[in-house]
Chains A and B, each alone.
Chain A
Amino acid sequence: MTDKRRMIIRQGLFEQNPVFMQALGMCPALATTTSAVNAIGMGVATTCVLVMSNVVISIIKKLIPEKVRIPAYIVVIASFVTMIDMLMHGFIYELWKTLGLFIPLIVVNCLILGRAESFASKNSTGLAFLDGLFMGMGFTGALFILGSVREILGNGSFFGMQFSEVKLFAFVLPPGAYLALGLLAAFFTFVSGKLSKSSKKKD
């Protein structure tokens, strides 16, 4: 059992990282990563929805008829998104305003529906919770890396603290999102390629 848990954690964070490995949830990953703070905000909001929807779906999985399962999942997810939307509107208005359109769009994030279909509907509640938490953390981590890179290069600051006058402004604009994510993805493919080669040599 502990082995399975460890595997879920490792897969969520690295081996099946939603953004870099599976290319899921690309829209928010590109759109909301103009700074590290925005990236974390989006990541945490998505993680909350993912954990709650995973738990609820794993509880009611036996009640849902096979044929209408996708609409049923969508209703569950949409309810939690509406809750998060209202909570963020009430407590962190500034962040809610910058993320704007992309908070209701958490509903159509393929990551959440994907986990509901491929994991939560087949596993126990505890495992579904763990899977949601670590997939969400993998997503948040990827967004944080991308947001930091874009903020440091594009604005010369980190978490809003200005430290450099060099500003490659393009990295904050839309093209920079594609370029930064493309270069990061290439870098991670390169590193994981090197790592798997060296581990093969040791064997």
Chain B
Amino acid sequence: MEMSRLFVIFLSAMLVNNFVLSRFLGICPFLGVSRKLDTATGMSLAVIFVMTVASVITWFLNQLLLLMDIPFMRTIVFILVIATLVQFIEILLKKVSPSLYEALGIYLPLITTNCAILGLAILNVQQEYTLMETIFHSIGAGAGFAIALIIFATIRERMDLYEMPESFKGLAGALVTAGLLSMSFMGFQGLVRL
């Protein structure tokens, strides 16, 4: 029972309620770093990592806020913790694993203003998930972000090779493509029910 519920939460965050394509969280990196496949992969890995760590920490912090009876401080506390955490991870990675830092380094500062991280933290609180559920939900959300970003980057790499009307070059074309991608993800609706 417990295991299957965790799996359903994971699957629903990854495919059915995909963060980018149906919840509209994390659009900036989705449009910004999707021009090349390898940058998209780097960004995805960084996001999965930060998302999981950030939501575990914010889960504990939320318990603390509830204990102190000041839930309205949530937004301020969460965003500050996320900003600090990202800085901290950056410093830690530089020391511990220079090769990983090399791969993810430039994407880390961008993540602070990525609304998917704060959005995920707040969603976890709103859904009143337990710690285990929070972890599965975060990994699912990160994986969903990665899938959407990598598919989109692959499409955009090929789109560069074709002729497009002048007005659709750049942002407009990318948005229409994302629309079609989002339409195909609608097919996952009804896959799981929570």
- For window 137-174 of B, CB contacts with A under 8 Å fall at 165-168, 170-174
**When the two chains form their complex, are residues A26 and B28 in contact, meaning their CB atoms are under 8 A apart?**
yes
Known: A175-B180, A186-B176, A193-B166. 12 other contacts (CB 8 A): A23-B171, A75-B76, A82-B73, A82-B75, A86-B72, A105-B118, A174-B22, A175-B179, A178-B179, A182-B168, A182-B176, A182-B178
Q: Is B105 engaged at the interface, CB distance under 8 Å to the other chain?
A: no
Which A residues are CB-close (under 8 A) to B31?
23, 26
Beyond A75-B80, A177-B24, whether A101 also contacts B172 by CB under 8 A is no
**When the two chains form their complex, are residues B126 and A74 in contact, meaning their CB atoms are under 8 A apart?**
no
**When the two chains form their complex, are residues A101 and B76 in contact, meaning their CB atoms are under 8 A apart?**
no
Q: Is A85 engaged at the interface, CB distance under 8 Å to the other chain?
A: yes
**When the two chains form their complex, are residues B171 and A101 in contact, meaning their CB atoms are under 8 A apart?**
no
- For window 126-169 of A, CB contacts with B under 8 Å fall at none
Binding site for A on B (CB under 8 A): 21-28, 31, 72-76, 79-80, 83-84, 113-115, 118-119, 122-123, 126, 165-168, 170-180, 182-183, 186
Q: Is A124 engaged at the interface, CB distance under 8 Å to the other chain?
A: no
Which B residues are CB-close (under 8 A) to A26?
27-28, 31
**A74 and B78 alpha carbons, distance in the complex (Å):** 11
Which B residues are CB-close (under 8 A) to A98?
none
How many interface residues does A have (CB within 8 Å)? 41
**When the two chains form their complex, are residues B27 and A30 in contact, meaning their CB atoms are under 8 A apart?**
yes
- For window 90-111 of A, CB contacts with B under 8 Å fall at 101, 104-105, 107-110
Which A residues are CB-close (under 8 A) to B119?
101, 105
**A175 and B180 alpha carbons, distance in the complex (Å):** 7
Closest to B27 in A: A26
